[in-house]
Structure 1
Amino acid sequence: MRQASHIFRIATHGQGLVEFTDKVVQWVEAQEMREGLLTLFCRHTSASLLIQENAAREVRADLQDFFATIAPEDPTRYRHDDEGPDDMPAHLRAALTQVQLGVPLIDGRLSLGTWQGIYLFEHRRVPHRREVAAHLLGD
């Protein structure tokens, strides 16, 4: 059994989904493993990870709109606003999604479906540099 780890650094442009599937696939392929499990972990409390459709842009826009509805920026709703009015809604959106993903590696390839991509979901309005830790365990 072998293992490898890496930190992906992802620049965001404000709220929205940033696909980084290609970077993950390239790194996994460079490890030359055939079978295993990839774990990705977002090291932030106001961003999250999703496996989501990567063909239709409307899916990403609809996801953003949905989360804005269920966790709106409303200064009268929240006590926590240390970094501005989008601070607590960002934490809520991250809590409702996930910060960790697991993807099986089968026959040397990540077992993502045809229309699936790996995304960092930025919940803050301002650009950030986010880190996603990767750990690959396999043979």
Structure 2
Amino acid sequence: MVVETCTLDLEAEAHRGIVNITRKIQEFVSESGMKSGIAVIFNIGSTGAITTMEYEPGLMKDIPRVLERMAPGEDRYEHHLTWGDDNGSAHVKAAMLGPSLTVPFTGGKLSLGTWQQIVVINFDTRARRRRVVVQIMGE
């Protein structure tokens, strides 16, 4: 088994900036020469998340809107009292989706559905540079 790691640095807008990283992950898998294995994608930081979605304008509005209902930005968060921050809801939303994703690949191609893309979502109250670690393991 071979293991390779790369790091992606991405610019993400404040309040639900969504960045499609599918192509970058696929390029990394292709360049590795591995035919079968898994890709682990991990967001460094507690106000961003990794997930899959259909990367289209409607869902890019729907997903943040639904998450905002679940953890409204204007609610009272103990986190604000602890650190004097204003991004408690960002931490909650990121925790709900999670910081990582594992995607298998076969024949050197990510095993994703036709309309399924890998995305990084920034929930912070300010634009952020997101660092994502990608590790592939396979043969």
TM-score, length-scaled by structure 1: 0.92
| Cα deviation code 1:77-131 (max 9, x no counterpart) | 212123632x110010011101110000101101111001110011013110111
Number of residue-to-residue matches in the alignment? 136
> Does the C-alpha gap of structure 1 residues 83 and 115 become closer, same or farther in structure 2, counting only changes over 3 Å?
farther
Higher helix share: 2
Root-mean-square deviation over aligned CA pairs:
1.2
- The structure 1 segments of at least 4 consecutive aligned residues displaced by more than 3 Å after TM superposition are none
Q: How does 1:34-73 map to 2 (within 5 A)?
A: 34-54=35-55, 56-73=56-73
Correspondence 1:80 to 2:79: yes
Report percent identity of matched pairs. 26
TM-score, length-scaled by structure 2: 0.92
User: Take 1:41 and 1:20, find their aligned partners in 2: how far apart are those partners?
Assistant: 12
Q: State the match for 1:24 in structure 2.
A: 25
> Does the C-alpha gap of structure 1 residues 64 and 23 become closer, same or farther in structure 2, counting only changes over 3 Å?
same
User: Take 1:38 and 1:24, find their aligned partners in 2: how far apart are those partners?
Assistant: 8
User: Take 2:84 and 2:112, find their aligned partners in 1: how far apart are those partners?
Assistant: 36
User: Take 2:121 and 2:113, find their aligned partners in 1: how far apart are those partners?
Assistant: 19
> Does the C-alpha gap of structure 1 residues 3 and 68 become closer, same or farther in structure 2, counting only changes over 3 Å?
same
User: Take 2:29 and 2:137, find their aligned partners in 1: how far apart are those partners?
Assistant: 10
